[in-house]
Amino acid sequence: MTLVAILSGAGISTDSGIPDYRGPNGLWRRDPEAEKLVTYDYYMADPEIRRRSWRMRLDGPVLHAEPNIAHRAIAEFERGGSPVRVITQNVDGLHQLAGVSARKVFELHGTARTVVCTRCHARSPMADALERVRAGEADPPCTACGGILKSATVMFGQPLDPVVLGEAMGIAKACEVFIAVGTSLQVQPAASLAGIAVEHGGRLIVMNADPTPYDELADEIVREPIGTALPSLLERLRASSGTA
């Protein structure tokens, strides 16, 4: 059966109420200063940046968001017996909430649902840290060692987890179909996975509202809304691979 790799970006989660970063209504366009809140050096050096970051997490949509029809379509595709791996640039955990097996989701940029201590590397639920913020701790320290806590996401200035990236590259090399959905394919090294898939004989499908640097390599380009286009595409792939 055909192995399908799906690289998902912010565009797949906008229907869940999570804004993208670089689009017309993206976070960076609305508040250029917001980028500092997710830049490692600023975050570690400035307590006020950390306090603003915690307030942003408290008010942000990520932990309240629900999977949308596109997330659920991927989960249904997996449940139908189709071999699929999801490589995501998102940190919202919505693929897993939709029902995709956690072991088949590779989070290149980490997860916003967990916090990690920058000193002792202890991990704990983001929800617990946010309860402390609500109770009055503006910049809650690690309960184990007193170190600075941050979300378990890859901030600007931090490297990707080499293990996760290596697994993603292996998937890109092995897949027969590589779908880039809701991603501008401008952020490296994630974007390079599309090129790796093509180099190793994979068929590239780009599903994004705007042109990407990898469109010229694509076998198929889809500009329709993801909520309708992705379920339709996955159904077509399921039928053609004989797993319907």
The DSSP line for 87-129 is: EES--S-HHHHHT--GGGEEETTEEEEEEEETTT--EEEHHHH
Pairing label, strands 123-125, 110-117:
antiparallel
Query: Which burial class, exposed, middle or buried, applies to 105 when counting CB atoms under 10 A from its CB (0-12, 13-18, 19+)?
Result: buried
Give the catalytic positions in this structure. 109
Distance CA 96, CA 37 (A): 26
What integer best gives the mean pLDDT of the chain? 93
* C-alpha of 236 from chain center: 24
* Residue 48, C-beta contacts closer than 8 angstroms, at least 6 positions apart: none
The pLDDT, as a whole number, for residue 243 is 47
The first and second tokens of residue 82, run together, are 């189709």
For residues 81 and 29, which has the higher predicted lDDT (pLDDT)? Answer: 81
The pLDDT, as a whole number, for residue 52 is 93
**DSSP 3-state of 30:** helix
Q: Which helix (H) or strand (E) holds 220?
A: strand 220-222
**Contact indicator for 5, 203 with CB cutoff of 8 Å:** no
- How many CB atoms lie under 10 A from the CB of residue 47? 12
Tokens 């184990």 locate to 144
pLDDT at 30 over 70: no
Over residues 69-95, the mean pLDDT reads 97
pLDDT at 83 over 60: yes
For residues 38 and 167, which has the higher predicted lDDT (pLDDT)? Answer: 167
pLDDT at 63 over 70: yes
The first and second tokens of residue 60, run together, are 């942000």
CA angle 222, 224, 227 (to 5 degrees): 110
pLDDT at 86 over 90: yes
- Split at pLDDT 50, 70, 90, the class of 35 is confident
- Split at pLDDT 50, 70, 90, the class of 21 is low
Segment 133-165, tens digit of pLDDT = 999 999 999 999 999 999 999 999 999 999 999
Tokens 């293990």 locate to 163
Distance CA 242, CA 55 (A): 49
Residue spans of the domains in the chain: they are: 1-18+68-109+160-244, 21-60+112-153
Segment 89-127, tens digit of pLDDT = 999 999 999 999 999 999 999 999 999 999 999 999 999
Over residues 234-243, the mean pLDDT reads 84
**DSSP 3-state of 189:** coil
The pLDDT, as a whole number, for residue 181 is 98
* C-alpha of 60 from chain center: 16
Angle, helices 226-241/69-79, rounded to nearest 10 degrees: 10
Q: Which residues does residue 87 pair with via DSSP β-bridges, in sequence order?
A: 7, 106
Over residues 3-19, the mean pLDDT reads 95
Over residues 76-85, the mean pLDDT reads 96
pLDDT at 59 over 80: yes
The pLDDT, as a whole number, for residue 33 is 73
The answer regarding whether domain 1-18+68-109+160-244 maps to CATH 3.40.50.1220 reads: yes
pLDDT at 27 over 60: no
**Contact indicator for 108, 160 with CB cutoff of 8 Å:** yes
Look at domain 21-60+112-153 and name its CATH class.
alpha beta
